[in-house]
Amino acid sequence: AQSVTQLGSHVSVSEGALVLLRCNYSSSVPPYLFWYVQYPNQGLQLLLKYTTGATLVKGINGFEAEFKKSETSFHLTKPSAHMSDAAEYFCAVDTGTASKLTFGTGTRLQVTL
């Protein structure tokens, strides 16, 4: 079975500050990992993904994430927050065998002036 834990249901940062959203997973097989962003009343947009290969993954809007197998983590970072980054962020895992995404509970990012 696979599961995802997102630490912190709500994170607040100042504009220009580092963004760090935490995601830990459990999986019995090598996972595929994803970060999605959801703006109010919209669908989910894929930010980035890890499947195989390079463990540091770059995505859209300046976000990146690093797959750390030893820590079973896939934390999302962005060096400098922008007001437009305020949204809900979901980490998700898929083992590739069940064709099912397992989502974390989400982290709401607030960006303040």
Partner 1 sequence: DTEVTQTPKHLVMGMTNKKSLKCEQHMGHRAMYWYKQKAKKPPELMFVYSYEKLSINESVPSRFSPECPNSSLLNLHLHALQPEDSALYLCASSQDPGREQFFGPGTRLTVL
Sites of contact with partner 1 (CB under 8 A):
32, 34, 36, 41-46, 49, 90, 94-101, 103-106
- Which residue lies nearer to partner 1 by CB, 14 or 55? 55
- CA 87/CA 60 separation, integer angstroms: 14
Measured from the CB of residue 13, what is the shortest distance to partner 1 in angstroms?
20
Please name the helix (run of DSSP H) or strand (run of DSSP E) that holds residue 14, with its range, or none: strand 10-14
Question: Given phi > 0 = left and psi -120 to 50 = alpha, else beta, which region is 104?
Answer: beta
Smallest gap from Cβ 46 to partner 1, in A, equals 6
Question: Measured from the CB of residue 103, what is the shortest distance to partner 1 in angstroms?
Answer: 4
